[in-house]
Amino acid sequence: MRKLTELLSVSCGETATIVGSGGKTSLLWLMAQHYRESKVLVTTTTKIAKPADTACYDLYLDSATIPGREARPGITLAGDEFVENDILKLRSLAPELLSLAAASYDRVLIEGDGSKCLPLKGWNEREPVVPVFSACTIGVITLWPLGRKADDSLVFRLPLFCAISGASPGDILTTAHVAKAVAHPAGLMKNSRGRKLLFINQVESKEAESAAGRLLVALDRGFLQNLSMVVAGSVRRNEGAVLWAG
């Protein structure tokens, strides 16, 4: 296993947008910490929980304070605060403002959709939201729900997930269901830009490694050929392995 932050690297001057479910926010912050000595902007194009631990970032800016602000080394968190269900969150900066601000940073890391902390999801017509200047799109999935029932406790926007995966509510989730949801034109990599990387998270056992291998075999070949890389690993352990490279 190699360090995940090395496999999913973002070059200086690049923007990476992270989409999907099953660990994308954790990956966002892992990557931000990895690049903390450079000028890193962390933000969202939809909405994201604002970390309660302010040690995660060095500076917080919103729409009123980011214009004209010189980027500095460290992690700058950007977005406009609001409260939803008693949780403090951030919503996206206006697209024009985000584009202008991004140009000042060495690396920009963006969360491009939400999943309500559930391991699987379906995507509505407005998401994922990937900026035109994104040089890399990282799609995150996890496979631990395999063998469990497809219901609202596991799947965000269950009807939309069923529409693209071929599953019905209550069906036992299979590798084929997840593979279809990942590769579907309205699925995980919809709206992706730049390099397209698929990351299978929470692969921390031989059983999980086998599941990741089965998913790779089940993915549509045309979809796979459009990816730069498929990586299986663990955000928690900051480790991963390349399963396929284009």
> Does residue 148 lie within any of the structural domains?
yes
246 in a structural domain:
no
Question: CB neighbours (10 Å) of residue 82?
Answer: 12
- Assigned domain for 107 exists: yes
| pLDDT at residue 1 in the model | 85
Calpha distance 109→217 (Å, rounded) = 30
Q: Give the CATH number, domain containing residue 208.
A: 3.40.50
| Residue 40 forms part of a structural domain | yes
What pLDDT does residue 172 have?
A: 98
Is residue 106 included in any domain, yes or no?
A: yes
**Does residue 82 belong to any structural domain of this protein?**
yes
Could you give phi then psi for residue 53, rounded to 5 degrees? Answer: -85, 105
Per-residue pLDDT tens, the chain, 246 aa: give them.
899 999 999 999 999 999 999 999 999 999 999 999 999 999 999 999 999 999 999 999 999 999 989 999 999 999 999 999 999 999 999 999 999 999 999 999 999 999 999 999 999 999 999 999 999 999 999 999 999 999 999 999 999 999 999 999 999 999 999 999 999 999 999 999 999 999 999 999 999 999 999 999 999 999 999 999 999 999 999 999 999 998
How many structural domains compose the chain?
Answer: 1
Residue 56: give the domain boundaries.
4-241
Sign for the pseudo-dihedral over CA of 154, 158, 161, 162: positive
**140: in domain:** yes
- Angle between the 206-218 and 175-183 helix axes, to the nearest 10 degrees? 50
